[in-house]
C-alpha cells in the first residue's frame, strides 16, 4: 500500500470516446445481470427461450447500476425533499439487488430513500421516465424496486406515501436522543461554523429505542459488506449513538442521527465481562469529521471505569477500523509509563501488557501491535543498525506461526507419520521469505500512516 499520488499523462477525451465508454459500461452491467431471473419472471406460455432472450437483448439499455440510481437523503425540513445537494449514494447494493447490483426495466430512474434526520422514519419511492412494461407492450416486466428494498426492512417501518411521511417530519422537532449522555464535542464545518455532537449510551430496556434502532441499522445493508441485523432481543447488546445537535430555521435545537456502534458484552468467569465492539457506522454526510474516533474513545471510557471488565475486543475488524483502533490505542498508550521511549527500546515485556490492560482494557494481542507501532514511532529509520533490529523483531512475530507449523511437522516425522501432503501446502524457505517481506512492508506502511496521524 502506498500513500503517494500517481501522476499520469492526461489527454482531452473526445465526445466519441465518452460515448463509447458509456456504451461499454451498459454492456458490462447487462452481462452482470441475472438473465435467468428475467426469464423466470417474464416467461409466458410456450414462448421459446431464445425468442424471449432476443427480446430482452433489445432492452439492455434498461439495465441500470443501483449504485447510481439509489439516492439517500436525511431530511431536516420539507425544503430538503427537493434539495439534491444533500443526496448521497450507497457504497454497495448486492445485499439488496443481488451480486449484479443492477435494476432492470426503467429509463431515467431515481430510487428515493428518504429518512427524517432525527427519528429516521423512512420513505421509499421511485421516479422514472419510461418503463419496459409499456415499451414492450406488457411482454416484459420491470423489477419491483420498492418491494425488493422493502423485503430487507423491518415490518411497518417505512412509508410509500410521501404525504404520510411528511406528517412524521412535522413531529421531528420533538425528537430527543435515547439513553444516557456520555460525551459531547465540537467540530469545525467547512464554512467555519461550529458543529456540536453528542454521544449517548442505551440498552434494550426501552422499546421505543429498539424501534428507532431497527430503522437505524437498515443503513448497514448499503454501507457494510456481509452485514446482518443484530438480535435486539438479546440483553447483552449495548448501543452507542452519535447525534448532531443543531439549530433549525426557528432557532430551536434539534437532533440529527449521525452514526452508531454496537457492543456485545460477553461473560467472563467468574463475574466479569468482555465487551466486544461489533458494528460501527458513520452515515456518509457525517464522515471525515472524526466521529468514529470519538465513538471509540467514548466506548473506552465507558468500560474502563468498570472494574468487572477484563478487556475490550473487536469482532472481525475491517482494515479501516483496525487502523482507527491502532490510532486511538497508540495515542492512549503514549501516556503510559511502560510505553515511554526508554522502555519501548528495551523490547516488549509483560509490564506493557499489564499496564495497558489495567488502564485501557486492551487485550495482549492488541498491546503487542501497539508496541510495534510505537517502537517504529521512536526508531530512527535512517540508522541502519537500529532500523534493522526493529524489522527483525516484527518479522520474528510474523513468522511465529510458520515456525510452529514446521516444528509440528518435524515432530510428526519423528513418530514416522506421513507429512507429505502437509508439507506440500507450506511454502518453501525462499517462498516464505518473499511472503514475509510482503507482509512486513504492508504492516510497516500501516504503522507509518498511523504515526503520521499521531504527529499531525
Asked if residue 287 belongs to a known ligand binding site, the reply is yes
The answer for residues whose C-beta is within 8 angstroms of residue 218's C-beta and 6 or more apart is 122, 152, 153, 154, 157
The answer for residues whose C-beta is within 8 angstroms of residue 315's C-beta and 6 or more apart is 264, 276, 277, 278
Q: Can you tell me the distance from the alpha carbon of 409 to that of 401, in angstroms, rounded to the nearest whole number?
A: 13
Q: Can you tell me the distance from the alpha carbon of 296 to that of 305, in angstroms, rounded to the nearest whole number?
A: 15
Q: Where are the alpha helices (DSSP H) in 305-399?
A: 319-333, 341-344, 350-360, 364-378, 384-398
Secondary structure class of 219 (helix, strand, coil): helix
Q: Can you tell me the distance from the alpha carbon of 176 to that of 296, in angstroms, rounded to the nearest whole number?
A: 22
The answer for residues whose C-beta is within 8 angstroms of residue 236's C-beta and 6 or more apart is 264, 265, 266
CB 310 within 8 A of CB 269: no
Q: Of residues 315, 413, 434, 438, which has the active-site annotation?
A: 315
CB 363 within 8 A of CB 357: yes
Secondary structure class of 402 (helix, strand, coil): helix
CB 195 within 8 A of CB 232: no
Q: How far is CA 318 from the centre of its chain?
A: 7
315 is catalytic: yes
All three cell numbers of 56, joined, read: 430482452
Cα–Cα distance list, 339 to 57, 84, 184, 311, 426 (Å): 65, 50, 29, 18, 37
The answer for residues whose C-beta is within 8 angstroms of residue 229's C-beta and 6 or more apart is 154, 214, 217, 220
Asked if residue 298 belongs to a known ligand binding site, the reply is no
User: CA neighbours within 13 Å on the CB side: how many for 153?
Assistant: 22
Q: How far is CA 312 from the centre of its chain?
A: 19
Asked if residue 304 belongs to a known ligand binding site, the reply is no
Asked if residue 289 belongs to a known ligand binding site, the reply is yes
All three cell numbers of 186, joined, read: 465540537
CB 59 within 8 A of CB 136: yes
Asked if residue 293 belongs to a known ligand binding site, the reply is yes
Q: Can you tell me the distance from the alpha carbon of 285 to that of 197, in angstroms, rounded to the nearest whole number?
A: 13
CB 286 within 8 A of CB 258: yes
- Burial label, 398 (beta-carbon count in 10 A; 0-12, 13-18, 19+): middle
What residues are designated binding site for acetyl-CoA? 287-293
What residues are designated binding site? 287-293
Catalytic residues: 315
Amino acid at each position: 500500500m502506498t500513500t503517494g499520488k500517481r501522476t499520469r499523462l492526461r489527454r482531452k477525451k473526445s465526445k466519441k470516446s465518452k460515448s463509447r465508454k458509456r456504451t461499454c459500461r451498459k454492456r458490462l452491467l447487462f452481462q452482470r445481470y441475472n438473465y435467468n431471473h428475467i426469464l423466470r419472471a417474464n416467461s409466458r406460455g410456450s414462448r421459446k427461450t431464445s425468442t424471449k432472450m432476443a427480446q430482452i437483448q433489445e432492452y439492455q439499455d434498461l439495465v441500470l447500476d443501483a449504485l447510481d440510481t439509489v439516492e439517500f437523503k436525511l431530511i431536516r425540513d420539507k425544503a430538503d425533499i427537493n434539495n439534491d445537494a444533500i443526496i448521497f449514494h450507497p457504497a454497495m447494493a448486492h445485499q439488496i439487488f443481488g451480486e449484479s447490483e443492477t435494476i432492470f426495466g426503467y429509463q431515467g430512474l431515481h430510487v428515493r430513500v428518504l429518512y427524517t434526520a432525527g427519528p429516521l422514519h423512512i420513505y421509499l419511492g421511485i421516479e422514472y421516465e419510461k418503463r419496459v412494461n409499456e415499451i414492450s407492450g406488457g411482454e416484459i416486466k420491470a423489477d419491483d424496486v420498492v418491494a425488493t428494498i422493502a423485503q430487507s426492512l423491518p415490518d411497518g417501518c417505512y412509508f410509500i406515501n410521501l404525504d404520510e411521511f411528511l406528517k412524521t417530519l412535522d413531529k421531528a422537532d420533538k425528537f430527543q436522543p435515547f439513553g444516557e449522555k456520555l460525551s459531547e464535542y465540537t467540530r469545525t464545518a467547512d464554512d467555519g461554523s461550529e458543529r456540536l455532537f453528542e454521544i449517548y449510551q442505551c440498552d434494550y430496556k426501552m422499546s421505543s429505542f429498539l424501534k428507532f434502532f431497527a430503522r437505524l441499522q437498515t443503513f448497514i445493508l448499503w454501507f457494510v459488506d456481509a452485514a446482518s441485523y443484530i438480535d435486539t432481543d438479546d440483553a447483552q447488546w449495548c448501543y452507542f449513538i452519535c447525534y448532531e445537535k443543531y439549530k433549525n430555521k426557528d432557532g430551536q435545537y434539534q437532533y440529527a442521527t449521525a452514526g452508531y456502534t454496537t457492543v456485545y458484552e460477553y461473560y467472563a468467569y467468574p463475574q466479569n465481562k468482555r465487551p466486544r465492539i461489533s458494528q460501527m457506522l458513520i452515515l456518509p454526510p457525517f464522515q471525515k469529521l472524526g466521529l468514529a474516533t470519538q465513538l471509540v474513545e467514548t466506548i473506552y471510557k465507558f468500560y474502563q471505569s468498570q472494574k468487572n471488565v477484563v478487556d475490550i475486543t473487536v469482532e472481525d475488524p475491517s482494515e479501516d477500523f483496525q487502523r482507527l483502533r491502532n490510532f486511538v490505542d497508540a495515542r492512549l498508550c503514549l501516556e503510559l509509563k511502560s510505553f515511554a521511549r526508554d522502555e519501548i527500546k528495551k523490547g516488549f515485556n509483560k509490564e506493557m501488557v499489564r499496564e495497558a490492560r489495567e488502564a485501557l482494557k486492551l487485550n495482549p494481542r492488541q498491546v503487542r501491535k501497539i508496541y510495534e507501532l510505537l517502537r517504529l514511532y521512536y526508531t530512527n529509520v535512517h540508522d541502519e543498525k537500529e532500523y534493522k533490529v526493529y524489522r527483525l523483531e516484527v518479522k520474528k512475530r510474523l513468522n511465529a506461526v510458520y515456525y510452529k507449523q514446521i516444528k509440528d511437522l518435524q515432530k510428526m516425522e519423528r513418530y514416522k507419520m506421513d507429512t507429505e501432503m502437509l508439507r506440500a501446502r507450506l511454502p518453501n524457505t525462499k517462498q516464505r521469505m518473499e511472503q514475509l517481506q510482503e507482509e512486513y512492508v504492508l504492516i510497516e506502511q500501516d504503522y507509518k500512516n498511523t504515526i503520521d496521524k499521531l504527529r499531525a
